[in-house]
Structure 1
Amino acid sequence: MSKVSDEQLQHGRQHHIGRQLQQAYRDFNTRSLRKLRARGHAQLSATHLNIIPFLELDGTRINTLAERAGMTKQAASQLVTELEKSGYVTRQPDPSDGRATLITFTAKGQALLQDAHALKREIADEYRAKLGEDRWHALQDALSGLLLPET
């Protein structure tokens, strides 16, 4: 394997598909957070947006939440505490295991989910308008193709 220059290494570190996907993800989260705050969810942070999608509607154990979100149980617990203080979630005993606790959405949390559902459509419409219908569908197809399990 031939050695690459420092300039090539630096360029390669900044300009690759992983970085582009990361930037697109950040753009989506930034737009989402701005729109959620405009809908009255001022307490939310980008970090909260990284954990909320891993909460099931019927409740999720903290260890399951941490595993899904790729963080420690302590970090997940801290974020849940913040969401709980803001009124989005509550902790309840797990009916299937008295020692465990389920994190469930409150009425305010359900309203957040409704707002998030609407804004995802808004953001998709923004991206569609920017790319045009054909490129939008090509992007959707390409991403789906990347994410399908290999056989």
Structure 2
Amino acid sequence: MADPNLGVLLFIPYRHMEQRIIAALNASGYPITAAQAHVSQRIGDAGSRLGELAEAASTTKQNAGFLVDQLEKQGYVERAPDPGDARARLIRTTARGREAVAAAAEVEAAIEREWREHLGAEGTERLRAALLKLREITDPYA
């Protein structure tokens, strides 16, 4: 692709970061797939309902449920009663899940340092400002 559109140019660094984080987690004893990560990274601090996770991850409730089942078997999440609705369950991150999140954050920070070295401080801040401005019209969860 000689002249990629902006969407592709935004996706390439995201994919690079995601692949490196997933590889590092797997190498560190936290096996997880990209699909599982897409769901798990959307769990709120107090927990989230399955439907909320499915919507935020742009997947079906059935697929989100399948991924949550896998995450639960691996010890990253747990299901707990929802104090606001006795019929509902919340998906919450476990201690092991928080360990994996911390490990991922270390890799993320290292990648951002690499990008900052490549772009320079001013270039990095301009990119961040432009992306934050673009988020205003593209992120329904902002």
TM-score, normalised by the number of residues in structure 1: 0.83
Match of 2:96 in 1: 108
Q: How does 1:1-150 map to 2 (within 5 A)?
A: 15-41=4-30, 43-149=31-137
Letter of the aligned partner of 2:77 in structure 1? V
For the Cα contact (< 8 Å) 1:58–1:104, is it kept in 2? yes
User: Which whole-Å deviations, capped at 9, do the CAs of 1:23-59 have from their partners, x for residues lacking one?
Assistant: 1211110121122223321x20111221122101211
Percent identity reads 36
Deviation at 1:113, TM superposition (A): 1.9
Q: How many residues align?
A: 138
What CA distance in whole angstroms lies between the structure 1 residues aligned with 2:105 and 2:26?
Answer: 14
For the Cα contact (< 8 Å) 1:29–1:49, is it kept in 2? no
Deviation at 1:99, TM superposition (A): 0.9
What CA distance in whole angstroms lies between the structure 2 residues aligned with 1:89 and 1:47?
Answer: 15
Structure 2 unpaired stretches of 5+:
none
Tell me which stretches of 4 or more aligned residues in structure 1 moved more than 3 Å: none
Structure 1 unpaired stretches of 5+:
1-10
3-state secondary structure, aligned to 1:51:
helix
What CA distance in whole angstroms lies between the structure 2 residues aligned with 1:129 and 1:34?
Answer: 22
TM-score, normalised by the number of residues in structure 2: 0.88
Q: Which has the larger radius of gyration?
A: 1
